[in-house]
Structure 1
């Protein structure tokens, strides 16, 4: 049986590295947070590859430039990616590099999942073929076999409809990694059509279909790739899919002393800037989709702020207060207006259905970094309550809290 040192002496063209036990153990622990055995092993394989190559890039760049490699899109987003697709990405400045690991012993081709090639926000400049040997009875090692540009892969690679991948013979990969680092920052991508836009209703329908954890490869279901790409390219919807496949759907938990809506994962912010492109997070609906018997006519009754500026976008979400309202819901509404560099925001709460008034003592609270900035409480015959109109710059984060008796829930937003 050949050892790693034997391989290194035989094959001097490629990059070989031993696998560190500590990084393997950490990858194994992190990989347990997935819905099935296939997803868990895929996460383990990819995390081992990513952690070692991230260190390798850091060492290389330390001497060559001031750039630092970063996990794309972020460490926090890795679970939702690894639940559904093979491969991880590293960002160096404006360049993106996708790592595609495989345990195949005799690699004949590089096979890249279509998501990393045909989704604009995921597409990379370079794709690395990485062979990983996780055999504990032998030396554990990795071999970087070469790389290819997006332009070459897209134009000369073969598309495989059966597994939605682009493939290229291993002989066509470049082995000159000095060239890769020398060309970082150049735009090496072929043109890609923009993603289609899904409505919140279409996204919800897809999420219901794909959330079954017994479906080991949701990306290969008989769903047009354009719809799949539109769903997972939106961080909020992809996180929703991950949470649902793990049974982490938001739920109402009641005890003798308190009841609250909670999740096992960090809160996901609703991206309000996307509303102006008619992209709404799951659970939220634009005004024209919210006109139904459950919500009634309240969506037509959006009060203007004291500025007399007509809001240009409205979003509505039904909030279930559980036992506090006998199973009835309230409607949380946000009206947005664009005012120069800032976004104006008006927050209201309305009753739904045939109800004319809100329940007394319902609190509507504006939070910033968990600290209250505004608070309004309903009285006996209030048809609605609203916060004072406010504005924020892009990137501003805030939250809105609803509280009634022992119940409370919080919605998080980012402008």
Structure 2
């Protein structure tokens, strides 16, 4: 077993963290659902890094630290690129793991720099030694410094920064946050171009072929970045590369239960009275309702999805309620539905103009299956675009 005390004494500016031996097998088993051996191994290195670093960060510096965008999104991200995002104290840091013995430079995939929703404040270089069971964080940089002093490798679609331009002691990050809380760590990113649903579906079909070892190299970043930023499309690409059937069909969830994958995103099924309600003295019929618990501005809510009438009908209701019965939705909260390519439509939103028990949007769809994306304002915690097919 490696002696971390000796390593730390020999190189005290770097952070050395142990990977518990008993966890390595479990983490490897959790890293199998990927399209190629390379993606499985990269997911394994990312999981090891996260398992070692996140508990340390929460204990030492930031109790609120958590994965971003969310833990459930990690497989679809690791299928596409390398790196693990962590949010803490209103900032974002991305771990970039590598087994390489050469630590002359940090190479940050472009996705973590130029996709607006992914762009971070800091990037940390992580050397993973699987055999000896430790990770070593040997340097970090801010996004501003990476863009300022780094070079962009167009062939590899990475930003590269020499070791000399990295800060080797991670403790300096926390000190600088205390001394200079207003320091600019990240530049504004350029919004991604729009992509139509048809274009996205064609790209997913093409790039979803698992024989394409590195799909991020197959198309211009202007297209790739848009595809990944839309969580529903990125999830679709991941599923396609695993050979899965569509996991996000609302009707299928109603008939045979919420898919295992969707459950990891917090979706469940409960039985509620039909939205058609009762006329006269007849009791309302019971039917499945899809439910997801979300947090908005520190308050707990339930998002519910239910058909009006039979599930084979084309009218659906999305409803927002407080988790605790009787509590009200504050003024200004908004529930919205968007098309799959994130466009609004007539009657797509409801806003609380006074405290209300519920907000809802009803939508009548055409004959063909359509994808809808829900969203709230303020944005809910850990929010990711989800394309729900109805």
Normalised to the residue count of structure 1, the TM-score between the two structures is 0.63
Question: Cα 1:28–1:2, aligned 2, differ >3 Å: closer, same or farther?
Answer: closer
Q: In 1, are the aligned partners of 2:337 and 2:349 still within 8 Å (CA)?
A: no
Give me the whole-angstrom Cα distance separating, in 2, the residues matched to 1:263 and 1:79: 16
- Range with greater deviation from structure 2 (335-344 or 27-36): 335-344
Q: Which runs of 4+ in 1 moved over 6 A?
A: 267-270, 392-396
Q: 1:231 to 1:341 in 2, by over 3 A?
A: farther
In structure 2, the residue corresponding to 1:89 is in which secondary structure?
Answer: strand
For residues 80 and 364 of structure 2, the distance between their equivalents in structure 1, rounded to whole angstroms, comes to: 37
Query: Does residue 201 in structure 1 map to residue 198 in structure 2?
Result: yes
Q: Say if 1:165 and 1:183 are closer, same or farther in 2 by CA, change over 3 A.
A: same
Provide the C-alpha distance between the structure 1 equivalents of 2:367 and 2:66, rounded to a whole number of angstroms: 46
Structure 1 residues without counterparts, runs of 5 or longer = 253-257, 271-311, 317-333, 353-391, 397-409
The whole-number CA distance in structure 2 between the counterparts of 1:206 and 1:247 is 16
- State the partner residue of 1:231: 227
Structure 1 match to 2:139:
146
1:323-334 correspondence runs (5 A) = none
Cross-structure match for 2:273: none
How big is the alpha-carbon RMSD for the aligned residues of Structure 1 and Structure 2? 3.5
**Residues 411 and 60 of structure 1, relative CA distance in 2, 3 Å threshold:** closer
Label 1:336 to 1:313 Cα distance change in 2 as closer, same or farther (>3 A).
farther
Quick one: distance in 1 between partners of 2:139 and 2:379? 38
- Shift in alpha-carbon separation, 1:34–1:166, aligned structure 2, 3 A: same
SS in 2 for 1:33: coil
Unpaired runs of 5+ residues, structure 2, are 249-253, 268-289, 291-335, 354-358, 369-375, 381-386
Residue 68 of structure 1 and its aligned partner are, at CA, apart by 1.6
**Which protein shows a greater Rg?**
1
3-state DSSP of counterpart to 1:266: helix
1:69 maps to which of 65, 72, 83: 65
Q: CA deviation at 1:264?
A: 4.9
2:173 counterpart residue number = 180
- Structure 1 residues 345 and 147: alpha-carbon distance in aligned structure 2, compared to 1, 3 A threshold: same
Equivalent position to 2:124, from 118, 122, 128? 128
SS of the aligned residue for 1:83 comes to helix
Distance apart, 1:84 and its partner CA: 1.1
Contact 2:338/2:348 (8 A) holds in 1: no
Secondary structure of the 1:28 match is helix
Higher mean alpha-carbon deviation, 155-164 vs 1-10, is at 1-10
**1:143–1:340 distance in 2 versus 1, CA, 3 Å:** closer
State the 1:25 CA deviation: 2.4
User: Structure 1, residues 356-413: CA drift from partner, whole Å, max 9, x if none?
Assistant: xxxxxxxxxxxxxxxxxxxxxxxxxxxxxxxxxxxx98779xxxxxxxxxxxxx9579
Q: Distance in 2 between matches of 1:218 and 1:44?
A: 19
Q: Shift of the alpha carbon at 1:33?
A: 1.2
Shift of 1:243: 0.8
CA 1:69–1:22 in structure 2 vs 1: closer, same or farther (change >3 Å)? Answer: farther
Counterpart for residue 346 of structure 1: 362
**Aligned residue pairs: how many?**
293
- 3-state SS of 2:167 partner: coil
Taking a change above 3 Å as real, the CA distance of residues 395 and 55 of structure 1, as seen in their structure-2 partners, is closer
The yes-or-no answer on 1:21 pairing with 2:21 is: yes
